[in-house]
């Protein structure tokens, strides 16, 4: 199998191919993309296994992808990022094209900045960073605990410390907020990331979009993973949900209140229910034995209400519930938001949290005293040249 990787180099003319950056168009499907570039759909889609076909649906509008072309504008390779961990690699092998899923090579940097509030946290972060993602993450983190509209005053300050992934020299994927601080009438309020959940100054879990566990008492047999190497298939796969092992017929409940937008059979999912929730969230329940009477498209359901029963329909090796959580179409890890009750840290966990809190508070004070502004990333040149001999992929 060919493992070619793009190596970004200074332009040169001899025996070179060109690398182009594009953004995925709104409303464009993977098959439409293949057709537009006159690429063969059979080896690059219809001959793929069902899991890889499902993965091709993960392409989202605005995602930057790369196309490598030779001097005659013939396509040699394409990289299509699917999520923060995996990407589609289409490459020319002699006279035909091949498809594979490979890991994304990225670097992670811890970054920080402070902002003096003149209008609102959202507007001022957006103005300072030109990043909707950072503004949305900050506001949503404090959404259920603080009232920005009534309590914030001009001249109050905020600080964000977060991890940002970089791919080919540019920010890639959603930042992970580590700590945030905002002043309300000069009083500091904090949010801390501790073991995949967010907590306030007193070690109480911050309420976000909280869901209930969809199968009570069930054990998790397979965790969410955007990047795992399948030991049998010997290829990179993604498991965009959580599997709960349970006996056939065990009740499945709605993880959150919402409206059923799908309740029927769907390919490898088997019997599937999709529920639309607020703020762009959607939950999916797959491999169901059957639906509860009255469950249909358009029906409104409440959190904790029984909607179906565990089964093994579709591509399933045994009875279990495959549970997915998506926001605006993108799969996210349900364990980051699925909580039976909000937690208050105690004992050893509380001690660990206090050590982390002390470290984060010191970093926040450092940002405030030095008044560090957001450093904008210089744009990478859209066109670069790559030597045909020994091409490598950086990203």
CATH of residue 284's domain is 2.70.70.10
Which segment of 230-234, 245-249, 276-280 scores lowest on mean pLDDT?
230-234
- The answer to whether residue 128 is domain-embedded is yes
Residue 215 in this model has a pLDDT that exceeds 80: yes
At 389, is the pLDDT very low, low, confident or very high (cuts 50, 70, 90)?
very low
Which segment of 214-218, 332-336, 339-343 scores lowest on mean pLDDT?
339-343
At 378, is the pLDDT very low, low, confident or very high (cuts 50, 70, 90)?
low
pLDDT of residue 341: 41
Which segment of 89-93, 117-121, 218-222, 337-341 scores lowest on mean pLDDT?
337-341
Residues 75 and 20 in one domain: yes
Mean pLDDT of 121-130: 93
Which segment of 52-66, 193-207, 225-239 scores lowest on mean pLDDT?
225-239
Mean pLDDT of 267-271: 90
Rounded Cα distance, 223 and 196, in Å: 14
Domain of 51, CATH number, reads 3.10.450.350
Q: Does pTM top 0.75 for this prediction?
A: no
Q: The tokens 């090579």 sit on which residue?
A: 105
pLDDT of residue 370: 87
Residues 23 and 169 in one domain: no
- The answer to whether residue 378 is domain-embedded is no
Residues 44 and 66 in one domain: yes
Mean pLDDT of 168-195: 89
Residue 68 in this model has a pLDDT that exceeds 50: yes
Residues 78 and 112 in one domain: no
Residues 230 and 322 in one domain: yes
Mean pLDDT of 105-133: 92
Residue 201 in this model has a pLDDT that exceeds 50: yes
pLDDT of residue 240: 85
Mean pLDDT of 62-80: 91
Residues 73 and 144 in one domain: no
Mean pLDDT of 200-220: 78
| Torsion of Cα atoms, 211 then 173 then 1 then 29, to 10° | 80
What tens digit of pLDDT does each residue of 297-328 get? 999 888 888 999 999 998 887 899 999 999 88
pLDDT of residue 51: 79
Structural domains counted in the chain: 3
Higher pLDDT, 304 or 162: 162
pLDDT of residue 266: 92
What tens digit of pLDDT does each residue of 346-375 get? 899 999 999 999 999 999 999 998 877 787
- Give which of 304, 219, 298 is closest to 255, Cα–Cα: 304
Q: Tell me which long-range contacts 30-35 makes (C-beta under 8 A, separation of at least 24).
A: 30/56, 30/57, 30/59, 30/80, 33/59
Rounded Cα distance, 367 and 373, in Å: 9
- The answer to whether residue 390 is domain-embedded is no
Residues 358 and 309 in one domain: no
Residues 145 and 174 in one domain: yes
pLDDT of residue 207: 61
Residue 43 in this model has a pLDDT that exceeds 90: yes
Residues 20 and 77 in one domain: yes
34: containing domain: 16-104
Mean pLDDT of the chain: 83
Look at residues 52, 78, 104 and tell me which one is the last residue of a structural domain.
104
Look at residues 320, 336, 352 and tell me which one is the last residue of a structural domain.
336
Percent with pLDDT over 70 in the chain: 86
- The answer to whether residue 203 is domain-embedded is yes
Residues 196 and 148 in one domain: yes
- The answer to whether residue 386 is domain-embedded is no
Mean pLDDT of 283-290: 95
Is 256 within 8 Å of 273 (Cβ atoms)? no
Rounded Cα distance, 179 and 159, in Å: 8
pLDDT of residue 32: 95
pLDDT of residue 374: 80
Is 191 within 8 Å of 179 (Cβ atoms)? yes
Is 378 within 8 Å of 4 (Cβ atoms)? no
Mean pLDDT of 43-69: 89
Higher pLDDT, 293 or 309: 309
Percent with pLDDT over 90 in the chain: 45
At 343, is the pLDDT very low, low, confident or very high (cuts 50, 70, 90)?
low
pLDDT of residue 386: 39
Residue 285 in this model has a pLDDT that exceeds 90: yes
Residues 255 and 317 in one domain: yes
Which segment of 55-64, 70-79, 198-207, 386-395 scores lowest on mean pLDDT?
386-395
pLDDT of residue 36: 95
């Amino acid at each position: 199998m060919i493992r070619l990787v793009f190596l970004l180099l200074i332009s040169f003319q001899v025996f070179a191919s060109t690398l182009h950056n594009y953004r995925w168009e709104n409303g464009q499907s993977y098959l439409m993309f293949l057709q537009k570039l006159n690429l063969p759909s059979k080896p690059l889609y219809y001959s793929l296994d069902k899991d890889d076909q499902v993965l091709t649906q993960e392409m989202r509008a605005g995602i930057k992808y790369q196309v490598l072309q030779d001097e005659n504008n013939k396509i040699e390779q394409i990289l299509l990022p699917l999520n923060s961990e995996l990407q589609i690699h289409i490459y020319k092998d002699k006279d035909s094209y091949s498809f594979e899923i490979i890991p994304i090579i990225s670097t992670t940097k811890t970054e920080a900045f402070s902002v003096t509030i003149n209008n609102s946290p959202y507007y001022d972060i957006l103005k300072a960073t030109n990043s909707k993602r950072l503004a949305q993450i900050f506001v949503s983190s404090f959404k259920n605990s603080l009232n920005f509209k009534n309590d914030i005053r001009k001249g109050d300050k905020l600080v964000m410390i977060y991890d940002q992934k970089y791919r080919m020299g540019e920010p890639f994927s959603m930042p992970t907020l580590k700590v945030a601080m905002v002043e309300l009438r000069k009083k500091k309020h904090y949010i801390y990331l501790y073991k995949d959940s967010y907590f306030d100054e007193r070690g109480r879990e911050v309420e976000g979009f909280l869901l209930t566990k969809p199968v009570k008492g069930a054990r998790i047999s397979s965790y969410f993973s955007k990047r795992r190497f399948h030991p049998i298939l010997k290829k990179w796969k993604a498991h965009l949900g959580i599997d709960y092992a349970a006996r056939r017929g065990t009740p499945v409940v709605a993880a959150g209140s919402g409206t059923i937008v799908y309740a029927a059979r769907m390919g490898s999912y088997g019997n599937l229910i999709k529920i639309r929730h607020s703020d762009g969230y959607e939950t999916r329940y797959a491999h169901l034995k059957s639906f509860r009477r009255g469950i249909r498209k358009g029906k409104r359901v409440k959190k904790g209400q029984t909607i179906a029963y565990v089964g093994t329909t579709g591509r399933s090796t045994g009875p279990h519930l495959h549970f997915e959580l998506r926001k605006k179409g993108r799969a996210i890890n349900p364990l980051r938001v699925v909580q039976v009750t909000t937690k208050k840290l105690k004992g050893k966990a509380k001690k660990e949290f206090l050590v982390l809190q002390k470290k984060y508070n010191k970093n926040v004070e450092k940002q405030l005293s030095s008044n560090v502004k957001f450093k904008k990333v210089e744009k990478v040149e859209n066109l670069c040249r790559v030597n045909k001999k020994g091409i490598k992929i950086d990203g």
